[in-house]
Structure 1
Amino acid sequence: MAVCCDLEADINGEETFLLDKKIICSFSGRLSKLFGKSTGANRNKVIFNDFPGGAENFELISRFCYNNGEIDINPSNISLLYSAAEFMEMSKSVSGNCNLLEKTKKCIEELGYWTWPDLLVALKHCQEMQQVATSSGILEKCLDSIVGRLAITSEASPCASTSSPDSSGLRLSCDTRSTESLKNSFSRANWWFEDLSVLSPNLVEMLVKSMVSRKYNQVIISRFLLYYQKSKFFTASSDEKRQVLEIVIDGLYTLDPSCISCKSLFGILRVVLNLNISKSSRNKLECMIGSQMDQATLDNLLIPSPYGTSYLYDVNLVLRFLKAFLREGGWRLSPTRMKKVASLMDLYIAEVAPDPFLRLSKFLALVVALPDSARDCWDELYHAIDVYLEVHAGLSEEEKLKICCALNYEKLSSDACVHLSQNAKFPSKSSVQALVSQQLKLKNLLQGSKNSKPDMDSPCKLNETRGKAKKGEGSEQIVLYSGRLDISGDNENLRAHLQGMQWRVIELEKLCKKMQAQMAKLMKSKTPTTHSTARSLPRLCS
């Protein structure tokens, strides 16, 4: 029988098909409308510039028409056939056979019963024509089925993975006598990572959103994203790497911060530094790192400065981490977390202080970044400032004072105060302030010792305290001068005066230690003393 070829179809400029118009029009509503009821022998031509799936897919539906509505619908072609059936409006029935659109819809409804390999095949083909698959709903249903399958395998005894013939899913052991099987089962929670690592970044983004909405284990989601990033980087170009990183960062940002380790985030950061990712993704990564600053280490923070800059380390990046830590932490910033970050920053500031190219404004910003309450002792900061002033000897007196004003002299130890008073690198005002602060601390300490009372319920202990406090060493009176000093005079006279103050502080420290030892003995002793010599306590004059 002669084959009639009265229809010429140009498909996306890829290929031209010669077809029987009558046969094709009997299944396609679109062509029927185009040609009306005319099925004459005159050759007609149609041009499709946006046919879904191209020439290969048009050949599929042509075979469906020539086979009188019979075709094998499987996971590898269902998305193609469905999209083509919609495009060609193939909702007609011929000789009682179901139309192609109805057949594909029915197959999609049964998608939840497909095997894992079938789901992967269908998902792969959806990826190749994502726009069509998304609009038709096939992609969403395929992803939902995959996430549902994963949720089942993570809760119970899952089915085997098909990534390899002998691989198996997460099998929980019932043998409580050994933990080895449990460890093995937990490590196999990632059995599906390799299967889904072939997906495009856009599909991974959709997959993660579906997993989060289904309340899938976020720890496993974070591990998959990190695995996906590493697996894609082997053969990816710079643009592909950038796209993968942005999807991974955006996906991690939607998870609970406790599900992502600080070490993993810094690992991503090291890669990001060499790629020009979007500002939004970079800000998200810095926020995630900043919220976990109390888990970071000094090595994590020692990030080289950007190309083209003279200073050694990227101080601006660390300042943004701190800003994010204070902002993102909010009410969760416990004193313990604050102190951990303060200790880390003391180490970092000491590390960057010797950098001769570090500007004063940046160094000062590091010093004052955290609130005063974050540190119990400021000795480490003092030593870092000492190093900075030594390296930057050309600073003016005014610039030095800006740094010294950030110091909390009340939280400096006695040794640090004495060292500062003799430190020629520091301004004279700082030396005076350190000594005055130290004297006030000692005065308060002595006053507290003088006013401390033993157990008032025991008259014997009270008499004993009074007697022993008047007895022993330290009978001489030490008078300290902490009034205003005229620092505008001769520097030599000022230095001599400061040395005299320093000597009086040292003497007072010795006396204070003796008194503390005496008071400790008094509080421990239980035998009343009846013979005591009246001696006056040393007094501190202001």
Structure 2
Amino acid sequence: MEDNFLDLEVDVNGEEVFMVNKRNISSYSGKINRLLRKSKDATGRVKVIFNDFPGGAANFELITRFCYNKGQVNINHINISSLTCAAYFMEMNKSISKTDNLCEQTEKLWDNIRFWTWSELMMSLKQCQELLPQASSWHILDKCFDSLIGRITSSCETSPCLSISSSDSSGFRFSCDTRSTDSLKNSCFRTTWWFEDLVALNTDLIQILVKLIVSRNFDSGIIGRFLFYYQKSRLASASEDEKIKILETVIELLDSLDIRSVSYKSLFRLLRIALNVKISQCCREKLECMIGSQLDQATLDNLLIPSPVGRSYLYDVNIVLRFLKSFLGKVPLSRLKKVGILMDLYLAEVAPDPYLKPSKFLALIRSLPDSARDSSDGVYHAVNLYLEVHSNLSEEHKMKVCLGLNYEKLSSGAFNHLARNANFPCESAVQAVISQQRKLKSLLQDTNQANFNDSPRCSFETTHKGSKVEDEGSKQIILYAKKLNLSDENEKLKAHLEGMQWRALELENVCRKMQIQMTKMMKSRTSSQSSAKSVPKLCS
């Protein structure tokens, strides 16, 4: 072509300038035709600048070949995404004949996407991530994802039903009996074979893909496993900014899943990574909420998270308090008690920290309702460790820490230990005695008010006053336990009453010893504190 026909100058994204024939290009491109009509100098040389041409200079060159080759160009799976975007951008769906219509030609290949190989589909997807947002606007991405998701779901449906255990990322639940290792490996492969290929996609495409999969009720456990795999694979070679984007994307997507199906161990691993990267506060809160909502699955090691850099205390107790806040609500008592046991272990671990403030330690104790613990022995053990390490605390601060103790839930062993424990303030020991006496009186009153229909003689009155209530109460329990002549079907009731009898005797002896010990303690408090040795750990 002679130079005088090169009357259209096209600057493509600042990458390259093309000199082409405007009549030739405008005959295939509705956009160029429209721009030329608006031009003041339609007969002379015209310059057009594109700042957002899909696929850049290389793709524009393909468009010019199509125009100069009378509407013919080699369309394949490598260039179809780029050519489709460029064709719609250049409005090449308005040419004279269908054979010259580039948009029509690309659509024919898209219509046969179900016959593409997996590799061809992945090639097109990788191109799409360089063509956003145009690839999404012209529904190219939708076509790729529809085919991709269809293949993934069909492969999973033909394999045994696998579900990830929320407590262990390696746990599987099968809908059928799998008896061989080979069968297990094949089943796992049929649900995860696509993981490695999709790691090549950027976070924008992953976000779109996972949201589409979730909307089709795909297994949350498998999606969760893929997201953890994606995060692990991409972080290794990512820059600091890329790490933040990857982590935030994964957390946002995990939050859209059924969290009960997501590996709990993997959530904690993700948290430990996120704590070292400056992700947004919103994403961090979402991750903590996901972990906290399933706190009854956690272990002590999970909770022993080192304190943030620059803080003197050993463990991050604030994050554990936030976990507890997310957990509490309408949870079954069984789950609540499981967390109660876990928190007693955690309290014993953090108690020896010399930098842990009394207010924060008390907040940990009081973070759970009283119903979460059947016994206060674990809390007593932790408080004892704390007071032993923080021996320089004032009596006022010691009493504040002791406010977390429910004395009525102490076992007799813990109660006796507290009575001779110099670490505790006197007021705490007095409150313990009062609580134990109140518990004994309540026990006797409950016994007195019991209504036995089979034996009208089983009612008695208590007219005891002061310290005589324990002696008389226990005597009456013994008396009526001997007099009862119950039928066979009431043997359980008899056994229960006899148990109450021995409990009352035990509490009576404890209270009597406490009264004697309290008198001695009040007289020799100062000398006891100076000569007190560390007590052994409470075993109950």
Cα gap change, 1:483/1:384 in structure 2, threshold over 3 Å: closer, same or farther? closer
Bigger mean CA offset, 446-455 vs 257-266: 446-455
Deviation at 1:111, TM superposition (A): 2.6
Paired residue secondary structure (1:60): helix
Q: Distance in 1 between matches of 2:99 and 2:420?
A: 101
In the alignment, which residue of structure 1 is the partner of 2:485? 455
251-260 vs 191-200, greater mean Cα deviation: 251-260
Deviations 1:107-141 (A, max 9, x none): 33333332211110110000011111111111122
| Residue in 2 that maps onto 1:390 | 388
Q: Hey, what does 2:29 align to over in structure 1?
A: 28
Query: Is 1:124 matched up with 2:126?
Result: yes
Q: CA deviation at 1:228?
A: 0.4
CA contact (8 A) 1:6 1:19 kept: yes
**Normalising by structure 1, what TM-score?**
0.78
Match of 1:363 in 2: 361
Offset at residue 80 of structure 1 (A): 1.7
Aligned match of 2:531: none
1:247 Cα shift? 1.1
- Aligned counterparts of 1:40 and 1:249: Cα–Cα separation in 2: 55
Structure 1: gaps (5+ residues): 159-172, 466-473, 497-542
Other-structure match for 2:55: 53
Question: Could you say which residue in structure 2 is the equivalent of 1:109?
Answer: 111
Give the match's secondary structure for 2:375. coil
103-112 or 287-296: which moved more?
103-112
The one-letter code matched in structure 1 to 2:485 is: D
SS at match of 1:304: coil
In the superposition, relative to structure 1, how do residues 96 and 182 fare at CA in structure 2: closer, same or farther (>3 Å)? closer
Following superposition, the deviation at residue 19 of structure 1 comes to 1.3
Question: Could you give the per-residue CA deviations for residues 492-530 of structure 1, whole angstroms, max 9, x where no partner exists?
Answer: 44879xxxxxxxxxxxxxxxxxxxxxxxxxxxxxxxxxx
Q: Give the SS at the match of 2:246.
A: helix
Measured against aligned partners, the alpha-carbon deviations of 1:270-323 in whole angstroms (never above 9, x if no partner) come to 111110111111111111111121111111111110011110100001111111
Task: Mark the CA change 1:436 to 1:195 in structure 2 (over 3 Å): closer, same or farther.
Answer: same
Q: Find the counterpart in structure 2 of residue 165 from structure 1.
A: none
Cα displacement (A) at 1:250: 1.3
Q: 1:433 aligns with which of 411, 431, 434?
A: 431
Match of 1:512 in 2: none
Worse-matched range after superposition: 391-400 or 351-360:
391-400
Partner of 1:322: 324
| 1:196 CA displacement | 0.5
Aligned-CA RMSD value: 3.3
Whether 2:267 is the aligned partner of 1:269: answer: no
Give the match for residue 170 of structure 1. none
Q: Any idea what the Cα deviations from partners look like across 1:459-479, whole Å, max 9, x if unmatched?
A: xx9xxx9xxxxxxxx9xx999
C-alpha contact 1:26 1:92 (8 A) present in aligned 2: no
- The aligned amino acid for 2:36 is F
One-letter amino acid matched to 1:347: L
Whether the 8 Å CA contact 1:25–1:31 is kept in 2: the answer is yes
Matched AA of 1:356? P
Which stretch of the first structure deviates more once superposed, 144-153 or 397-406? 397-406
Q: Which residue of 2 aligns with 1:140?
A: 142
CA distance in 1 between partners of 2:291 and 2:411 (Å): 33
User: Partner of 2:391: helix, strand, or coil?
Assistant: coil
Q: Return the offset for 1:37.
A: 11
Q: Secondary structure at the match of 2:27?
A: helix
Aligned equivalents of 1:118, 1:226: Cα separation in 2: 26
Q: Alpha-carbon deviations, 1:333-369, whole Å to 9, x = none?
A: 2222111111111111111111111011110000101
1:47 partner letter: I
Return the alpha-carbon distance in structure 2 between the equivalents of residues 315 and 235 of structure 1: 32
Q: Give 1:423's aligned residue.
A: 421
Q: In the aligned structure 2, how far is the partner of 1:431 from the partner of 1:18?
A: 95
Mapped partners of 1:396, 1:95: distance in 2: 94
CA distance in structure 2 between the partners assigned to 1:147 and 1:85 by the alignment: 26
Pair member with larger Rg: 1
Relative to structure 1, the CA distance from residue 131 to residue 402 in structure 2 (aligned partners, 3 Å threshold; closer, same or farther) is same
The alpha-carbon deviation at position 436 of structure 1 amounts to 3.1
Deviation at 1:26, TM superposition (A): 1.0
Aligned residue number for residue 85 of structure 1: 87
String of CA shifts for 1:381-423, please: whole Å, max 9, x gaps: 1121111112212222222222222211110011211121222
SS in 1 for 2:99: coil
Match of 1:306, SS state, is coil
Give the 3-state SS of the residue equivalent to 1:419 in structure 2. Answer: helix
Task: Give per-residue Cα distances to partners, 1:8-65, cap 9 Å, x unaligned.
Answer: 2222221121212221111112222233499987433322222222211111110000
SS of 1:130's equivalent? coil
How far apart are residue 260 of structure 1 and its match? 1.2
Q: Is the contact between residue 126 and residue 133 of structure 1 (CA under 8 Å) also seen in structure 2? A: yes
C-alpha change, 1:345 and 1:73, in structure 2 (3 Å) is same
Identity of aligned residues (%): 53
1:408 to 406, 409, 420: 406
Of 191, 195, 202, the residue aligned with 2:204 is 202
Aligned length: 462
Contact persistence 1:130–1:139 (CA under 8 A)? no
Secondary structure of 1:16's counterpart equals strand
Shift of 1:441: 4.3
TM-score scaled by structure 2?
0.78
| Cα distance, 1:95 vs structure 2 | 6.0
**TM superposition shift of 1:454:** 3.2
**Structure 1 residues 364-373 or 432-441, which shifts more?**
432-441
